[in-house]
């Protein structure tokens, strides 16, 4: 049979073994994420960083004498690490739950995801500062060296141990949660905490221990992975997106779904490497997209509904900060002065990212959809604009419009696939689709892989204006930004925009009024993609390059960060957020990897203390001050309060 297929049995079984190894790690990691989401309703994006902490914990214990010379500490090997490190990582998780995670339990899912993204950036950034991109070697324990000769292949003993032990851990965890009284208490605590509290159970402590246990599983997986993969700060970042895809396919919160799907997808990934190696990096995300089209809640899960509290959109229509015409004039005047005060390229970067963040805010702030794949629209437009300008010789304005057209088509496709989903499901399917685009760009010949498309010509605007002149290029970018900002202002102030806001606030009510909410959301998502594409295509011409960084998921995180800092659901917020983030990146550029730590800290601080952002908080302040003035003028009453003075009433 192998001869008919033209495949070596050694290759086939070798890749199946690798797939099974990856599968058990996917299962263990996904199990922790599923437990945390199922019990706490938190999308724990920091799980990858906690997996990395487990691997580094094992490495630290092995090198204790070198790390602390003179203290006489012994070197603690693999078996000690297998016991101590998961407990230590679990303690760190308990601390994080107590200080950070607990504060977002009652908020919309987006805030939990954003908080854990920030925590992951902080942890991974700190380790990047200490170790850079270099990996640390961790040897296989002596008792598990060697292997078994199966005739057609050599089976390393350590990998057999990993498979068997990981399966035991996974199914023991499933049994405890699904078949024991403790597990029933945990499930009940999430469904009806008041009832469980009435039985004398400390629910907050139980939830903290649940989070610590889920995190401990990530730490255990990290210890087991250390002898197989290099111990590096990036090891968690490279696996966490795949883990979320596995959890979503299995069903968010489904314990059995996480285990089964992790194992099966590991094997599918291994088989794909045999028959079509180029597709091995994307096959899981393709499966995820297909599954969610037909089973929105995943194979074994039940879909959860997302709620949108009032602080997810802080805009006040009557506020001066929401007067788009006024701010359009202010930005036109201020933008005309800006290139004479700062370096034009810096100003152009600010304008491109401000437009990108404003485009993202259209769908997140005004529709309430947490998208995590806008980098696909921004980056694909950059690549198309760069390719058409440098290879096909398109004029600059036509090249940018070509990029916008590509981003719009991609947005319509993504929206059609994802728009019927809600909450974390919507975020994850947009992320999965964006990852497919990212991996396509790595492999496609016309994108030039990791080199990207370089030396993109700026050309002449309308064949007349030389855009190689910095000021000419700047004012062209300023005009694009102002046009995009004006378009967003017109959209949100139109009857269409009012329907979008009603969908965000109460979608069932909008449906009862006869609106096709899916159609409205799809149009808004496509418009957002088009505007993100306008920003990406312009960026490619400005910086004369399109690279994989434009498509990387952290570019979507940057859009989130800018929107969150400025103010979600406010017209001016994303612009302010872009100014803050770009300035921060410039001023902190000399800090190297510390920039990631600072950005992660900004995520955490905004979620915890500044959920309405700079503009939203300022709007609240102005509204309260205006209310105090009205009370003072009305003699201590407001317009909504009855007049209590009988003489005044008469």
What mean pLDDT comes out for the span 599-625? Answer: 86
pLDDT band of residue 642 (cuts 50, 70, 90) is: very low
CB contact at 8 A, 36 and 210: yes
Compare 268 and 199 and report the one with higher pLDDT. 268
Secondary structure string (H, E, C) spanning 80-142: HHHHHHHHHHHHHHHHHHHHCHHHHCCCCHHHHHHHHHHHHHHHHHHHHHHHCCCCECCCCCH
Is a pLDDT exceeding 50 seen at residue 168? yes
Q: Is 151 left (phi over 0), alpha (psi -120 to 50) or beta?
A: left
CA distance 416 to 424: 17
pLDDT band of residue 311 (cuts 50, 70, 90) is: very low
CB atoms within 10 A of CB 494: 11
What mean pLDDT comes out for the span 213-241? Answer: 91
Give the pLDDT confidence score for residue 587 in this predicted structure: 79
What mean pLDDT comes out for the span 554-577? Answer: 90
Is a pLDDT exceeding 50 seen at residue 1? no
Give the pLDDT confidence score for residue 107 in this predicted structure: 80
Is a pLDDT exceeding 80 seen at residue 636? no
pLDDT band of residue 645 (cuts 50, 70, 90) is: very low
Among 228, 638, 315, 282, which residue's Cα sits nearest to residue 489?
A: 315
CA triple 418-420-423, angle to 5 deg: 80
For all residues of the chain together, what is the average pLDDT? 86
Per-residue pLDDT of 618-630, as tens digits, reads 888 888 888 888 8
CA distance 84 to 81: 5
Q: What percent of the chain has pLDDT over 70?
A: 92
Give the pLDDT confidence score for residue 646 in this predicted structure: 40
Compare 79 and 112 and report the one with higher pLDDT. 79
Give the pLDDT confidence score for residue 549 in this predicted structure: 93
Q: Which residues contact 3 (CB under 8 A, 6 or more apart)?
A: none
Segment among 166-170, 225-229, 269-273, 287-291 with least mean pLDDT: 287-291
Q: Is 449 left (phi over 0), alpha (psi -120 to 50) or beta?
A: left
H/E stretch holding 545 reads strand 545-546
**DSSP 3-state assignment of 153?**
coil
Q: Which residues contact 634 (CB under 8 A, 6 or more apart)?
A: none
| pTM score above 0.75 | yes
Q: What is the DSSP string of 449-514?
A: GGG-EES----EETTTEETTSHHHHHHHHHHHHHHHHHHHHHHHHSHHHHHHHHHHH-HHHHHHTT
**In this structure, what token pair is assigned to residue 542?**
């400005």
**In this structure, what token pair is assigned to residue 42?**
């938190």
**Distance, first Cα to last Cα, the chain:** 100
Among 308, 507, 516, 296, which residue's Cα sits nearest to residue 417?
A: 296
Give the pLDDT confidence score for residue 404 in this predicted structure: 97
CA distance 296 to 307: 17
Q: Which residues of 29-59 are buried (b: 16+ CB within 10 A; e: fewer)?
A: bbbbbbbbbbbbbbbbbbbbbbbbbbbbbbb
Q: Where are the alpha helices (DSSP H) in 132-278?
A: 157-179, 181-191, 193-198, 203-225, 237-250, 255-275
CA distance 182 to 565: 41
Segment among 10-24, 210-224, 511-525 with least mean pLDDT: 10-24
**DSSP 3-state assignment of 323?**
coil
CB contact at 8 A, 467 and 473: yes
What mean pLDDT comes out for the span 516-530? Answer: 94
CB atoms within 10 A of CB 413: 13
Compare 645 and 542 and report the one with higher pLDDT. 542
Give the pLDDT confidence score for residue 185 in this predicted structure: 74
Give the pLDDT confidence score for residue 312 in this predicted structure: 55
- Bridge partner residues of 155 (DSSP): 148
Q: Which residues contact 570 (CB under 8 A, 6 or more apart)?
A: 313, 314, 315, 321, 322, 361, 365, 613, 615, 616, 619
Q: Where are the alpha helices (DSSP H) in 324-371?
A: 324-337, 344-364
Among 151, 145, 78, 92, which residue's Cα sits nearest to residue 123?
A: 92
- Bridge partner residues of 156 (DSSP): 147
Give the pLDDT confidence score for residue 262 in this predicted structure: 92
């Amino acid at each position: 049979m192998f001869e008919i297929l033209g495949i070596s049995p050694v290759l086939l079984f070798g890749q199946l073994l690798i797939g099974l190894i990856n599968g058990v790690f996917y299962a263990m990691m996904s199990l922790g994420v599923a437990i945390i989401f199922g019990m706490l309703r938190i999308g724990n994006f920091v799980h990858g960083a906690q997996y990395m902490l487990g691997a580094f914990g094992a490495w630290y214990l092995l090198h204790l004498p070198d790390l602390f010379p003179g203290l006489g500490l012994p070197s603690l090997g693999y078996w000690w690490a297998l016991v101590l490190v998961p407990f230590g990582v679990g303690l760190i998780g308990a601390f994080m739950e107590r200080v950070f995670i607990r504060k977002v339990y009652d908020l919309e899912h987006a805030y939990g995801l954003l908080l854990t993204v920030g925590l992951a950036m902080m942890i991974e950034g700190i380790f990047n500062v200490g170790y850079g991109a270099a990996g640390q070697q961790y040897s296989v324990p002596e008792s598990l060296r060697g292997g078994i000769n199966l005739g057609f292949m050599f089976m390393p003993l350590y990998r057999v141990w990993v498979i068997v032990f990981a399966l035991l851990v996974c199914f023991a965890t499933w049994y405890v949660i699904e078949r024991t009284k403790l597990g029933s208490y945990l499930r009940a605590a999430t469904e009806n905490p008041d009832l469980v509290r009435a039985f004398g159970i400390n629910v907050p402590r139980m939830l903290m221990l649940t989070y610590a246990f889920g995190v401990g599983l990530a730490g255990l997986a990290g210890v087991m992975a250390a002898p197989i993969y290099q111990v590096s700060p990036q090891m968690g970042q490279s696996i966490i997106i795949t883990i979320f895809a596995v959890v979503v396919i299995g069903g968010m919160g489904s314990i059995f779904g996480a285990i089964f799907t992790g194992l099966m997808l590991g094997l599918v990934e291994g088989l794909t490497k045999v028959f079509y190696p180029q597709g091995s990096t994307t096959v899981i995300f393709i499966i995820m997209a297909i599954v969610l089209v037909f089973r929105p809640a995943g194979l074994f899960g039940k879909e959860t509904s997302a709620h949108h509290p009032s602080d997810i959109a802080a805009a006040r229509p009557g506020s001066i900060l929401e007067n788009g015409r006024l701010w359009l004039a202010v930005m036109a005047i201020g933008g005309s002065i800006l290139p004479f005060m700062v370096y034009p390229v810096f100003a152009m970067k600010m304008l491109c990212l401000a437009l990108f963040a404003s485009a993202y805010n259209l769908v997140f702030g005004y529709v309430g959809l947490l998208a995590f794949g806008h980098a696909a629209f921004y980056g694909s437009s950059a690549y198309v604009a760069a390719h058409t300008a440098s290879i096909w010789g398109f004029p600059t304005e036509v090249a940018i419009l070509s990029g916008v057209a590509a981003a719009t088509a991609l947005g319509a496709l993504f929206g059609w696939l994802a728009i019927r989903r809600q909450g974390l499901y919507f975020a994850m399917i947009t992320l999965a689709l964006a990852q497919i685009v990212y991996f396509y760009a790595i492999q496609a010949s016309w994108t030039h892989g990791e080199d990207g498309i370089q030396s993109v010509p700026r050309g002449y605007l309308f064949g007349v204006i030389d855009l190689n002149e910095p000021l000419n290029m700047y004012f062209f970018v300023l005009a694009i930004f102002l046009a995009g900002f004006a378009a967003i202002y017109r959209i949100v102030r139109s009857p269409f925009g009012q329907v979008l806001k009603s969908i965000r606030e109460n979608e069932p009510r909008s449906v009862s009024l006869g609106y096709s909410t899916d159609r409205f959301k799809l149009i808004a998502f496509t418009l957002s993609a088009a505007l993100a594409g306008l920003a990406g295509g312009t960026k490619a011409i400005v910086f004369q390059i399109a690279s994989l960084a434009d498509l990387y998921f952290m570019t979507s995180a940057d859009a989130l960060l800018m929107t969150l800092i400025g103010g979600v659901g406010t017209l001016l917020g994303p612009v302010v957020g872009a100014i803050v983030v770009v300035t921060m990146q410039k001023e902190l550029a000399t800090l190297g990897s510390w920039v990631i730590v600072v950005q992660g800290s900004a995520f955490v601080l905004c979620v915890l203390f500044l959920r309405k952002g700079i503009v939203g908080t300022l709007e609240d302040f102005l509204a309260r001050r205006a209310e105090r003035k009205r009370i003072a003028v009305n003699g201590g009453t407001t317009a909504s309060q009855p007049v209590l003075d009988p003489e005044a009433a008469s």
